[in-house]
A and B are shown apart, each in its own frame.
Chain A
Amino acid sequence: AQTVTQSQPEMSVQEAETVTLSCTYDTSENNYYLFWYKQPPSRQMILVIRQEAYKQQNATENRFSVNFQKAAKSFSLKISDSQLGDTAMYFCAFMKFAGGGSEKLVFGKGTKLTVNP
């Protein structure tokens, strides 16, 4: 079974600065996807970024980027130029590759990020 570990329960950052959230996972699969989801106080789950394990290039979405280290089973999220609206819980999630369909997401426990003005 896959497990996802987020070792930082809470983090804070000053507005406009950069912060990195950590995530490690354990799997015997070779093909899989990794995701970061954001959950603001409204509790909506919002996709931030995704990474395919077969791609060596790290994914980037505007101010959000990842550092994917497949051998180390590490998948950290970097938020640049932090904004007050980035304040949220951030969940790292794993999904194994399903040749003919789609699989369930396995989530970490989350990191609560606070951006301070």
Chain B
Amino acid sequence: EPEVTQTPSHQVTQMGQEVILRCVPISNHLYFYWYRQILGQKVEFLVSFYNNEISEKSEIFDDQFSVERPDGSNFTLKIRSTKLEDSAMYFCASTSFGQAQFFGPGTRLTVL
């Protein structure tokens, strides 16, 4: 069964460093998302992406964040200058029109 994959599973970084989280969505899906879950809290929407551009972004998704689909298979989330409060689980999800979103296993980001 096709699945969404994410790498790395765990990323540790120093405050102020740039990180890139990678996702490979399900191959025939057209809509891509990043969500964030701070430990013990609910899952929050960050950004949606369709047709090579951002469809919607939340207040969390400020200028420090960017997304890219560089090669038709990968979907990346970049955080330019990480802050302590960026420590969270980051989930990538993908879907086709009218279908449920399928989530990857997540990347646990720890900012020290």
Spell out A's residues near B (CB within 8 Å): 33, 35, 37, 42-47, 50, 91, 93, 95, 100-110
Does B75 lie at the interface of the complex (its beta carbon under 8 Å from any beta carbon of A)? no
Residue of A nearest to B91 (CB): A45
Chain B residue numbers with a CB within 8 Å of A33 are 100
Q: Is the CB of A91 within 8 A of B42?
A: yes
- Residue contact A45 to B43, C-beta cutoff 8 Å: yes
What number of B residues sit within 8 Å (CB to CB) of A?
A: 30
The answer to whether the Cβ of B48 comes within 8 Å of any Cβ in the partner chain is: yes
- CB–CB A102/B95 < 8 A: yes
CB <8 Å contact, A35 and B105: no
In the complex the two chains form, is B42's CB within 8 Å of A107's CB? Answer: yes
Number of A-B pairs whose CB atoms are under 8 Å? 64
In the complex, chain B residues whose CB is within 8 Å of the CB of A35: 100
Q: Please report which residues of chain B, range 39-90, place their CB below 8 angstroms from some CB of chain A when the two chains form the complex.
A: 41-45, 48, 50, 55-56, 58, 89
**A33 and chain B: residue at smallest CB distance:** B100
10 residue pairs of the A-B complex, CB under 8 angstroms, read A33-B100, A37-B103, A43-B89, A44-B105, A45-B93, A102-B48, A102-B97, A104-B33, A105-B101, A108-B42
